[in-house]
Amino acid sequence: MARGDEIKSGDPLFRLLAPDLEVLLKRRGFRVFSKDPEEELLFRTEQQKERAYPMMKRYAFRIFLRDVIKHKQGFSVGDVARYASERMTEHYIEFLSGLGIIEASESGYRLKEPVRSFGETLVWFVAEVLKREFSIEAYRSVKFRGRKVGGDYDILGNLNSGICFIEVKSSPPRQVQDVEIRAFLQRVNDLCPDLSIFLLDTHLRMKDKIVALFEDVMMELNSYRPEIVRLKKELFHVLDTNVYIINSKPGISNNIEEVLSHYYRRRCF
């Protein structure tokens, strides 16, 4: 039973002390219109999700999936062996075939049910990391009505009476534009979550492009240039805020753990 179901069916006092995510959002004037869509997920059955979750922890597998989705007319082993060896790529293809995700085609292989992009599947995985690794109740692809700021919130999590917001990007740093940073910060300002994370699924550097974009956009929105400090490697914190900027090296779970640790411990300083 999910954490939210346990709370709703449990003792009223417990629910008062540990409100579920929907209640936390309602307190801030946010009522969920829709969440957790399934139609754009690459993995849709429970069996597929269970078997795919450990594989999704591998950066090379996630790169492979992006390429598979991109080749909508079909692909060969060479088309999707950009980040892994040919032997490992063949293993990944065998894995997807065993799940019933791909089938043979004239060009080699193709998705049985094409999806528009890898984004929704990546968001699903990060939400699952929160649930499975940190016992955080999480919604994904959340839409609200009646807000001045449009678009959906990739992931919202319950931090035991606080709210965590994670924006997830599957693009490399060079493809991220200031409009995406601006939209993220506008959602942060609207919801005012207790913790906000901008997560880029890349092993590339964040300082040169992404951190610089945050400095410029925050200067534009708030009329001051923020001080953004490196916590370690490519993990950054915007000082005097609860905003963090991270990549996925060495792993998404590892980096979220680093952020959560810093977020909780800094309150003791």
CATH number of the domain at 46-111, please? 1.10.10
**Helix 59-70 × helix 86-99 angle, to 10°:** 70
Write the pLDDT tens digit of every residue in 163-208.
999 999 999 999 999 999 999 999 999 999 999 999 999 999 999 9
Average pLDDT estimate for 108-130: 97
Distance in angstroms (rounded) separating the CA atoms of residues 123 and 142: 11
More confident residue, 12 or 197: 197
Does residue 173 contact residue 202 with C-beta atoms inside 8 Å?
yes
More confident residue, 243 or 8: 243
Average pLDDT estimate for 94-119: 96
Tokens 């003792």 identify what position? 11
What is the structure's pLDDT at 24?
A: 97
User: With pLDDT > 70 as the criterion, what percentage of the chain qualifies?
Assistant: 93
- E strands present in the chain: 32-34, 102-105, 108-111, 138-144, 153-158, 163-169, 195-200, 228-232, 235-238, 243-246
Write the pLDDT tens digit of every residue in 74-95.
999 999 999 999 999 999 999 9
Q: Is 179 exposed, middle or buried (0-12, 13-18, 19+ CB in 10 A)?
A: exposed
- What architecture is the 3-37+137-268 domain classified under in CATH? 3-Layer(aba) Sandwich (3.40)
Distance in angstroms (rounded) separating the CA atoms of residues 139 and 262: 23
Q: Domain residue spans in the chain?
A: 3-37+137-268, 46-111
Does residue 129 contact residue 146 with C-beta atoms inside 8 Å?
no
Q: Check whether 3 has a pLDDT greater than 50.
A: no
What is the structure's pLDDT at 10?
A: 54
Measure CA of the first residue to CA of the last residue in the chain; give whole Å.
37
Q: Is 206 exposed, middle or buried (0-12, 13-18, 19+ CB in 10 A)?
A: buried
pLDDT grade, residue 267 (50/70/90)? Answer: confident
Q: What is the mean pLDDT of the chain?
A: 94
Distance in angstroms (rounded) separating the CA atoms of residues 243 and 68: 33
Distance in angstroms (rounded) separating the CA atoms of residues 123 and 248: 13
Q: What pTM was computed for the model?
A: 0.93
